[in-house]
Amino acid sequence: QAKQQGRSQHRFYSPEINARLQERLTVENELRGALERGEMVVYYQPLIDLRSRQITAVEALVRWQHPTRGLISPAKFIPIAEDNGLIISIGEWVLRTACEQNRTWQLAGMAPIRMSVNLSARQFEKPNLVEIVKQILQETELSALYLELEVTESFLMGDVQRSITTLKQLRELGLWLALDDFGTGYSSLNYLNRFPVNMLKIDQSFVQNVTSNSDSAAVTDAIIALAKSLQLKITAEGVETQEQLEYLEQRGCHEGQGYYFGIPAPAEKITELLKLNSQQLEHLVA
Ligand code: C2E
Ligand code: MG
Ligand code: MG
Ligand code: MG
């Protein structure tokens, strides 16, 4: 068979590809049950208001604490979990954990912040999504005001009419909606104003080159202008330097997220930052 299909087929049998397939199969097997074994952890990364310099939100970012291989990044297992459907249970667990955490911080007297949670296409397509979100908010007693869900254009563009309906229903719960990785997907400006979202997150690929590459700067400027004219809040992802921060500040970007402000960290680490946050707020009020 391979011979018949010619030389290009040969690549499928190379040891390198074979090793990658093997690796993927191993990950896939081990991923089943990882949630039940308690191996998933949620890290949180601060989002900073560029005017007040306060933490106004955190983004929940899942990691897999593998018993032998250490901490595995979501880029490695989320795509696999999306293929085999495990993302549904992982995503629901992340949402519940993140909402619980936000409620815990509020009960501990921290100044309230938004909790931002990524949704995958598979979750978004499920007819019971709105019901599940509503239920988790009730269970965790978190007000929807303090929950934000991140969606991407690429999966909204599948069935636009249905996406609009789902987004509207989510908004009716009182939560916030953000378009993640904005500028990288199949952007249709035509649809943007029909998606009832509150904010755009400029993809880090633009932000990281904003001071070194004029094309990235132009795209960033255009996204900020677009967000403003549509009255959307704008967050820059992947802010790593003072120069990038100054650029974004000058252009009137509202929020920043990136290593410059803080890397994703376990809840306890964020608790320490939030304590400082509330102290500063109290100071402002007093
Ligand atoms: P994302 O939603 O765009 O999240 C931002 C990613 O950029 C995170 O990667 C974060 O650690 C990284 N990042 C933040 N600041 C900087 C910076 O200054 N420089 C650089 N180089 N990177 C920065 P992470 O945590 O590895 O997550 C990767 C992606 O995995 C996320 O991208 C998101 O699409 C997905 N993901 C993470 N957690 C979840 C989840 O619970 N559910 C779903 N469906 N997807 C998730
Ligand atoms: Mg995100
Ligand atoms: Mg994303
Ligand atoms: Mg992003």
- Interface pTM, i.e. ipTM: 0.98
Percentage of the chain surpassing pLDDT 70?
92
Q: What are the beta bridge partners of residue 48? A: 55, 256
Ligand nearest to the CA of 116: 2
Q: Ligand 4 centroid vs 204 CA: distance in angstroms?
A: 7
pLDDT tens for residues 68-102? Answer: 999 999 999 999 999 999 999 999 999 999 999 99
Contact in structure between 203 and 184 (CB atoms under 8 Å): yes
Contact in structure between 44 and 264 (CB atoms under 8 Å): yes
Percentage of the chain surpassing pLDDT 90?
80
Concatenated DSSP letters for 238-268?
---SHHHHHHHHHTT--EE-STTT---B-HH
Contacts of residue 205, Cβ cutoff 8 Å, sequence gap at least 6: 183, 184, 216, 238
Mean pLDDT computed over 104-117: 96
Pocket of ligand 1 (CB under 6 A): 45, 60-62, 73-75, 78, 91, 94, 118, 120, 150, 180-181, 204, 237-240, 257-259, 264
From the number of C-beta atoms within 10 Å of its C-beta (0-12, 13-18, 19+), residue 267 rates as buried
Answer left, alpha or beta for residue 212, where phi above 0 means left and psi between -120 and 50 means alpha: alpha
Contact in structure between 123 and 62 (CB atoms under 8 Å): no
Contact in structure between 92 and 105 (CB atoms under 8 Å): no
Range in 122-131, 154-163, 244-253 the model is least confident about? 154-163
Range in 18-22, 58-62, 171-175, 236-240 the model is least confident about? 18-22
Contact in structure between 64 and 40 (CB atoms under 8 Å): yes
Question: Sign of torsion, CA 188 259 69 37?
Answer: negative
